[in-house]
Structures are given as C-alpha cells and as structure tokens.
A and B are shown apart, each in its own frame.
Chain A
Amino acid sequence: MKNIFHLPAILLLLSLSFSGCDKIEPPFKEGGGGQVTNDTRKILLEDYTGHTCVNCPGGARLGHELVHLYNGQVIMIGVHAGYFARPKAAPFDADYRTEAGTAWDNFFGISAAGNPMGMVNRVNNQGAYNVTAANWATAVGQAAQEKAALSLNIQTTYNSTSRNLKVELESKVIHPLDNKLMLIACIIEDSIVSAQSNNDPNVGATPTIPDYVHRHVLRGSINSPWGEELAAAGQATANATFSKTYTLDLNSAYNDQHVSIVAFIYDDTSKEVLQVEEKKIR
C-alpha cells in the first residue's frame, strides 16, 4: 500500500524532465526584418548610456545589430544621461549630456534602473518604460509588426558656410487618432570619437577604449525637450496633414558631415512614439 506512491512520484519527475526542456540544434541565429516603405512604422530605439559605463559598449553593439538587421526600419539614438555620463578626469572629460536627454531620463526612470537601458517606441509596460539591452531584440520584433498610423517626412536645407539649417517636417494621417499629438525634432551627431569604459573584449580594449566611436549621439532637441504640439486632440482625422518648420544655426562644435535630424511624433497621453524619421543634413 505504501509503495503505490513511489511510482507516480518517479513518473511525475520523469515526465517533467522529458517535456520540460527544448534542446536547440545549431545554427542558433535566424532571419531578419522586411522591406521598408513609406507606410512602414519605423521604430525608435533609445539607448541610455554613459562613457564611464563598462557594460554600455556591449549594449550599443546589440542595438547596432538590430539596426543592421531591420534595414532602416529601426532608428537608434544614444542618449548620454545619468551618473555614468558625467564628465570626469581626462580622458572622460567630454560632456554629452543634454537638457532633453536628462529630462527624459528622469521622467521615464531609465538610468535609475541601470545602464545600458533603453526604450523601444517609449512603450509603457504597466508603468515601466525601460527595456534591458537583452530585451531590445524582442521588443523591436514586436514593434515591427505594428502598422503606421501616420507618415513623417523630413526635408532639410543646409548651408555649410553659414551653418544655417532649415528643417521642414510634414506628416500625413493614415489611420485617425483621438489624442493630442506632439512632435520632437532632435539633432543627432554620429561618429564622435572619445574615450569609453569597456569590459567586453569582443568589442574593444578593456578597461578603456581611448578612441571609441560614439554613434548617433543626441545633441539636443530643436523644439524643447517635450516638443511642440502637432495636432490637438481630435484633429488627427484621416488624410489630415500637419507641418512644422524650424530654422537654426548649427553649433560650431558639431561636425556637420555627421549630423542628422531625428524627428518623432508621440501620443501626449501615453507618450508612445507613433512614427519616427531620420535625415542626414549633408
């Protein structure tokens, strides 16, 4: 009588052991993204980073892998904010922090959860916006399946002598939206070379990469950290168009060969990014 329980117990453990795991055979990597058209919903991947953060080059590398995989559907920006972006003794005396980056970092609670940390289209998961680097691929994969509700076009006119830049943004509504829409236009400078702390020998020298290439660095927002109203609530009806124009003189410290404008439209209530676009000025 006692022994009848031994058999089911063993069977239970055995059955769990056979059904409880999947063994994957190589190759371990798989496919990629699709084609990009005018109606594609592009994805904003924000990488909150800092030059004294040893884990950040590894995170940045993951982000670039995704940009490459998705053939232009993913637009990545590097936001230097928080404790690890503070300037320190040389060679870490550069300061890539911005008013906009710090404001977003504080509001969305990104660096407070550690660096590297990011957001994908600023999607809110039960109050948490931050996505760890290892989850960017999954989050981007999910976002890639969404349809675009509006299109966004950027035209730039740049005079390299006077450094005068004119940015014209136009957006057309595909599916109507009820909430108020905001537009932020940012200046991004690519390929800035300066020191970066690192602990991944596959990425570069440890503990410091003296000539690290910082990609897509956020230099600031043209129209304030939280942007400008693009459409009031209820205004975004089907086929409606909205446009904004900005003119400014580009900061002399930026290398205009590497500067681009990244603009994105977001829902003011949920903060979710609905469409993003990027355009090099030269």
Chain B
Amino acid sequence: MKKLLFTITALLFSMVVSAQDIFDNASLHGSFQTDVQFYRPDAAIGIYDSTIAGRKIGINGFTNLTYTLGKFKAGLRYEALLTPLAGFDPRQEGNGFPNVWVNYNTDFIEITAGNFYEQFGNGLVFRTYEEWTLGYDNSMNGMRVVLFPTKGLTLKGVYGSQRFFWQKYERNNRGLVRGADAEFSFNDAFSKLDEAGLRLSVGASAVSRYQRDADPIYKLPENTGAFAGRVNLGAGNFNFMTEYAYKINDPSAINQFIYSNGQALLSSFSYSQKGLGVMLQLKRVDNFSFKSDRAETANALDINFIPPINRMHAYSLTAKYPYATQPNGEMGMQFQLNYKIPKGTPLGGKYGTGISLNFSQVNDIVRDTLDKEYRGTLGYKSDFFKVSDHIFFRDLNVEVEKRFNSKLKGVIQYMNLLYDIAVIEGHTGEEAVKANLAVADFTYKFNSRNALRVEAQGMWTKQDEGDWAALMAEYTIAPKWFMALSDQYNYGNPDPDKRNHYYTISGGYTHESTRIALTYGRQYEGVVCVGGVCRQVPASSGFTVTISTNF
C-alpha cells in the first residue's frame, strides 16, 4: 500500500512539475509609450487660437504585448491617437487594435496569421514595416509562410491587404497583395565556401497587386506584377551586393497614369578592415512607385521601399533638408570612407582619431517624352545609363572625432549641401538651397557620473529661410537624469518678422527601461507638396510629456 502511494505521489509530482515546465516556457512581454502635447497660441510663429481650433491637447499612445508559449507566439498592439500630435496625418485619429497576430515557428516552417511585417531583399519590390515616429505603418493583414526545406534555402510566401490608417479592408476599397521570395545561401549549403573565405547568396522575388478597374476614363490593368533578383557576393574584406527590380505597367496617381514599365537597380561595393572602411553605392530608379491603391498619393499603402542612399543626419540643422526618394526617376550615388588614425601616432594622439568622409548626389533621369498628352500614354523612354544635368540633391560631409583626454571628447562636422527644394518639398519655383553647415559637439565628464554636452551648429545659405544658428547644452547624471536647453535661431531670415527663436527646455528621468521626459518649447512648421498633394505641417508651441516603458 505504501509503495503504491509513494509511486502515485512521485508520478503526480513529476507531472505537476512537467506541466509547470510547459508554462515556464511561457512568457508575457510588452512595451508602452505615450506622448502628450499641450498646444498654446504663440503669435510670433503664427499660431493663434483659430489655428489650434479647440484641439488643445494631442495624445499619441500605443502598447505592444507578446505572449510566448513554446513554439507559439501571439501578440497585439493597441493604439490610441486621440487626437494625433501635430505633424501626424489627421487620418490617424482613432483607437483600437490595428495589429493582432499569431505565429508558429519551427526549424522547418514558420507561419504567421494576422498582421505582419516582412522584407524581400532590400525591399525594392516588397517591404512592410512600421516607424511610429513618422506615423508610418503599412503592415500586411493576411498570412505569411516561411519554409526552410533544405540547408541554405529559404522560401517565403505572403498575401493579404495593407493597413490604411483605421480603414478596414472592404471589397474594392484597396488592392490585394501577394508575393513570394526565394533566397539561397551557398555558404549554408556548402561549407567549403566558408573555408575559402567566400560568401555567396542569391535571391529572387515576385509580387503582384490586384485592384479592380472601376475607372470610367482609363483601361487599367487589374493585376500588376513586379519582380526582382539579387546577388550578394563577398570575398575576404570585400563585399558586392546588387538587386535589380522590374515592374510591369502600373498607371497610378504618382506617375500620372502612364503605361510604361518601371525599373530599379541598387548596387553597392565595400571594403572593410580594422580601422578602415570604404563604400560606394549606386542607384537607378525609373517609374518605381508601387502602392496597394493606385490612386493614393499620401505616404501610405506603399508595397515597396526604395531606399534613399544618402546619409541620415543626427543634428537638428543638418537634418533640416532631408532627401526623399523620387519614385518617378532618379540616378544616385554615395561614397563613404571611415578611417581611424591609430593611437600613438602624432595625428592620432593618445586615443586615436576617427575620420569619416561621405559624399552623395542624386540626379534626375533623362526622359524622352513620347506624347505631349502624357497621361494615359506610354509616357516616356529613358536610357538606362544616361544621367540628367538636373541635380536633386548633393551633400558632402567631413567629420572628425577625437578624444582629447579622459574627460573631454568631441566631434566636428562640416557639411556642404545642394537641395532642390522645388522637387523634394514641392515648393515650385523656389531656388535650390545651397548651404554650408558646421557642427561642434563636445562632451566633458566632470566625474564618473556627471557630464555636460554642448552642441553648436551653424547653417549659412542665401536661399529659403537664410542663416540659422543652434546651440544646445545637455547635463546628464548617469544613469538616471538629464536636463537640456536648446535654441535654434533663424537670424538670417530675409523677412525680419520671421527671425524667430525656436527654443526648448527639457528634462527627464530614466530608470532601467522606463523613461519620463518633459519638454517645453516651440516646434517648427513645414509645407510639403509631394506625391500630388500639398500638406501643411503646422508649427506648435507648448508642453510635451513622454512616458515609455518595457516589461
């Protein structure tokens, strides 16, 4: 009897612990962020009570939750933009669960049902992603299957409809997207390549969009296909990557309803070794906007992603004139050199000095218009290798980074910019902006916890708003506190009434992954007329509170 009891107890115990063990593999993680802005009238920068029109508070917030149980995962995102912050598309106003998904993941197959994000190659024919700071989310709502049939081969298949703000998919209110991608990595399949120091992988994708033709004026193709092929080749310190994409006739609002096919090419060569990195990138885009809704002109419903190949800037003035890809046509190049002067040498100093050089230029393509009528015709012919004389964008950056002693280090940057504001921001008729900029960013550590960072910037130009100067001082007490004061002063504006100070005072507290920040000040305005639509991003003034956490 005792033995039986003992056996049963032992069995039950092991069962209970095993059952708990299944749930030991279970976890719930998530994140939360909310931004609240209080707007106040500010006559100096043109904000009156009528501009605010009663919308005194803007609140953006979202929460992500992921539940993991062994090979299964389920997640959702709740968003509430009531009302969206200034600068966000007003159609984002709403609340609900725009993102819900379930995922099953094994070594052979991975399935996602619900909303998902995916990228084929570099994204030239398919990329769904989200960037909440820009209010961008083109997630696919459908199914995604990934197969790993043999070592080195990855097959992906997707289908669904894309997110369009809060509008649910209803029959014919936008297009449907389906796609497939195959990637083969020779290194994973054949280990001999690793030994030879070679790396090779190839990939191919095909994506198609279906949208009904209910247009009484044009005969529109209901199924539009785009294809891409890519190669990634590496040998030792060298790397070469190229992707070519082709799109069959896709008359849309962006390309003014022409019936010509589109092409895109992205290539890069790079060499990297310890202390030295060199990179050259080339790009050609010809009629390559690809959206779920051919009539959409806003920054939404893009099926693909054409990467801009110029440097992303990290300071407020250097980032004032950012380049935006022109999907209708551009020829671009970018060259970058990173070098670290070794420590101990006369130029390098005690700690070494970092030098970075970056040059990029984007021109228009050459077009031979076929029909003066343009809309509803084959549009134009464009020679693949010809580059137009019209420069959309050009920038040259030289950056030197040095640590002087254990307390002081800094960065100095010089930038020269040519920015065709008429094309990039749609300010038709305005002269291209030619500017010289300089930035000095120094950090001084008082002791192991306290540091002061001072940033001084200047922009000198005769166009658009004229000269700017910016100064920022940030005091940090690691690891929790920061306080900052900053001002951007448009002292060179041709209109004396517009020579404003855009000041902000901010401070915050960070504990592990929870962050609370307060900012008070003025935000700059903008007018953008791209994609066939003109939009005004209003200036704003007031308090902003940001709270975010992770669990």
- Report A-B touching, CB under 8 Å: yes
B536 contacts chain A at the CB level, 8 A cutoff? yes
Contact (Cβ within 8 A) B218 A29: yes
Contact (Cβ within 8 A) B178 A20: yes
B457 contacts chain A at the CB level, 8 A cutoff? no
The distance in angstroms between the C-alpha atoms of A54 and B429, with both chains bound, is 10
B90 contacts chain A at the CB level, 8 A cutoff? yes
B532 contacts chain A at the CB level, 8 A cutoff? yes
- Of B253, B298, B378, which is in contact with the most chain A CB atoms at under 10 Å from its CB? B253
Contact (Cβ within 8 A) A208 B297: no
Contact (Cβ within 8 A) A206 B532: no
A72 to chain B, nearest CB (A): 15
Which of B147-155, B346-354, B442-450, B483-491 faces chain A?
Answer: B147-155
Q: A20-B206, A127-B166, A134-B252 are in contact. Are A26 and B378 (CB under 8 A)?
A: yes
A59 to chain B, nearest CB (A): 8
> Which B242-259 residues sit within 8 Å CB-CB of chain A?
248-249, 251-253, 257, 259
Contacts of A10 in B (CB 8 A): 182
Contact (Cβ within 8 A) A54 B223: no
Contact (Cβ within 8 A) A23 B221: yes
Contact (Cβ within 8 A) B167 A128: yes
A35 contacts chain B at the CB level, 8 A cutoff? no
Closest A residue by C-beta to B254: A134
The distance in angstroms between the C-alpha atoms of A20 and B206, with both chains bound, is 9
Q: Which one of B151, B168, B295 contacts A135 once the chains associate, using CB atoms below 8 Å? A: B295
A140 contacts chain B at the CB level, 8 A cutoff? yes
Contact (Cβ within 8 A) B215 A22: no
Q: Which one of A5, A54, A127 contacts B426 once the chains associate, using CB atoms below 8 Å? A: A54
Q: Which one of A21, A30, A126, A133 contacts B224 once the chains associate, using CB atoms below 8 Å? A: A21
> Which A27-46 residues sit within 8 Å CB-CB of chain B?
27-33
The distance in angstroms between the C-alpha atoms of A195 and B178, with both chains bound, is 46
B24 to chain A, nearest CB (A): 35
Contacts of A13 in B (CB 8 A): 180, 182, 204-206
Contact (Cβ within 8 A) B376 A29: yes
- Of A19, A69, A113, which is in contact with the most chain B CB atoms at under 10 Å from its CB? A113
Contacts of A125 in B (CB 8 A): 167, 173
The distance in angstroms between the C-alpha atoms of A113 and B297, with both chains bound, is 10
Q: What mask results when residues 279 to 302 of chain B are scored 1 for a CB within 8 Å of chain A, else 0?
A: 000000000000001111110000
A197 to chain B, nearest CB (A): 7
The distance in angstroms between the C-alpha atoms of A24 and B216, with both chains bound, is 16
A53 contacts chain B at the CB level, 8 A cutoff? yes
The distance in angstroms between the C-alpha atoms of A69 and B215, with both chains bound, is 12
Contact (Cβ within 8 A) B252 A55: no
B219 contacts chain A at the CB level, 8 A cutoff? yes
Contact (Cβ within 8 A) A54 B182: no
Q: What mask results when residues 1 to 25 of chain A are scored 1 for a CB within 8 Å of chain B, else 0?
A: 0110110011011001101111110
B214 contacts chain A at the CB level, 8 A cutoff? yes
Closest B residue by C-beta to A3: B150
Contact (Cβ within 8 A) B217 A29: yes
B428 contacts chain A at the CB level, 8 A cutoff? yes
Q: A69-B217, A137-B215, A207-B428 are in contact. Are A12 and B180 (CB under 8 A)?
A: yes
Count A-side interface residues using an 8 Å CB cutoff: 65
Contact (Cβ within 8 A) A2 B150: yes
Contact (Cβ within 8 A) A199 B170: no
Q: Which one of A23, A127, A133, A202 contacts B532 once the chains associate, using CB atoms below 8 Å? A: A133
B533 contacts chain A at the CB level, 8 A cutoff? yes
Contact (Cβ within 8 A) A28 B90: no
A233 contacts chain B at the CB level, 8 A cutoff? no
A198 contacts chain B at the CB level, 8 A cutoff? yes
The distance in angstroms between the C-alpha atoms of A267 and B227, with both chains bound, is 47
Contact (Cβ within 8 A) A54 B529: yes
Q: Which one of A69, A116, A128, A132 contacts B295 once the chains associate, using CB atoms below 8 Å? A: A132
> Which A82-135 residues sit within 8 Å CB-CB of chain B?
83-84, 106, 109, 112-117, 125-128, 132-135
Contact (Cβ within 8 A) B223 A21: yes
> Which B364-390 residues sit within 8 Å CB-CB of chain A?
372, 374-378
Count B-side interface residues using an 8 Å CB cutoff: 71
The distance in angstroms between the C-alpha atoms of A119 and B221, with both chains bound, is 25
Q: Which one of A50, A135, A199 contacts B428 once the chains associate, using CB atoms below 8 Å? A: A199
Contact (Cβ within 8 A) B182 A9: yes
A106 to chain B, nearest CB (A): 7
Contacts of B91 in A (CB 8 A): 109, 113, 128
Q: Which one of B204, B293, B426 contacts A55 once the chains associate, using CB atoms below 8 Å? A: B426
Q: Which one of A30, A112, A115, A140 contacts B219 once the chains associate, using CB atoms below 8 Å? A: A30
The distance in angstroms between the C-alpha atoms of A29 and B217, with both chains bound, is 6
B534 contacts chain A at the CB level, 8 A cutoff? yes
Contact (Cβ within 8 A) B178 A16: yes
A141 contacts chain B at the CB level, 8 A cutoff? yes
Contacts of A69 in B (CB 8 A): 216-217
Q: A13-B180, A24-B259, A127-B166 are in contact. Are A207 and B218 (CB under 8 A)?
A: no
Contact (Cβ within 8 A) A202 B155: no
Closest A residue by C-beta to B89: A113
Q: Which one of B53, B167, B297 contacts A132 once the chains associate, using CB atoms below 8 Å? A: B297
Contacts of A126 in B (CB 8 A): 166-168, 170, 173
A138 contacts chain B at the CB level, 8 A cutoff? yes
Contact (Cβ within 8 A) A54 B428: yes
B45 contacts chain A at the CB level, 8 A cutoff? no
Q: What mask results when residues 154 to 193 of chain B are scored 1 for a CB within 8 Å of chain A, else 0?
A: 0101000000011110100100001110100000000000
Contact (Cβ within 8 A) A114 B534: yes
Q: What mask results when residues 253 to 265 of chain A are scored 1 for a CB within 8 Å of chain B, else 0?
A: 0000000000000
Q: A23-B248, A30-B219, A54-B529 are in contact. Are A132 and B429 (CB under 8 A)?
A: no
A58 contacts chain B at the CB level, 8 A cutoff? yes
Contact (Cβ within 8 A) B225 A20: yes
Contacts of A6 in B (CB 8 A): 153
B222 contacts chain A at the CB level, 8 A cutoff? yes
Contact (Cβ within 8 A) A132 B253: yes
Contacts of B248 in A (CB 8 A): 21-23
The distance in angstroms between the C-alpha atoms of A59 and B428, with both chains bound, is 16
A270 contacts chain B at the CB level, 8 A cutoff? no
The distance in angstroms between the C-alpha atoms of A63 and B528, with both chains bound, is 23
Contacts of A24 in B (CB 8 A): 219-221, 249, 259
B535 contacts chain A at the CB level, 8 A cutoff? yes
The distance in angstroms between the C-alpha atoms of A115 and B221, with both chains bound, is 27
The distance in angstroms between the C-alpha atoms of A197 and B529, with both chains bound, is 12
Closest A residue by C-beta to B224: A21
- Of B53, B216, B257, B536, which is in contact with the most chain A CB atoms at under 10 Å from its CB? B216
Closest B residue by C-beta to A140: B216
Contact (Cβ within 8 A) A33 B216: yes
A142 contacts chain B at the CB level, 8 A cutoff? yes
B208 contacts chain A at the CB level, 8 A cutoff? yes
A28 to chain B, nearest CB (A): 5
> Which B52-99 residues sit within 8 Å CB-CB of chain A?
53, 89-91
Q: A20-B208, A28-B219, A55-B534 are in contact. List 15 more A-B contacts (CB 8 A).
A: A10-B182, A16-B179, A21-B248, A30-B218, A54-B427, A84-B536, A106-B53, A113-B90, A114-B533, A126-B168, A126-B170, A134-B296, A138-B214, A141-B215, A197-B428
Q: Across the A-B interface, give the 9 residue pairs with the lowest CB-CB distance, nearest first.
A: A207-B429, A20-B208, A21-B225, A134-B253, A114-B533, A5-B149, A134-B295, A22-B221, A135-B295
Between-chain CB contacts (< 8 Å), 29 pairs: A2-B151, A5-B147, A13-B180, A16-B178, A17-B225, A20-B178, A24-B219, A26-B377, A28-B251, A28-B259, A29-B219, A32-B216, A54-B426, A54-B427, A54-B534, A56-B534, A66-B216, A66-B217, A113-B90, A113-B535, A128-B165, A132-B295, A134-B295, A137-B215, A138-B215, A138-B295, A207-B422, A207-B428, A207-B429
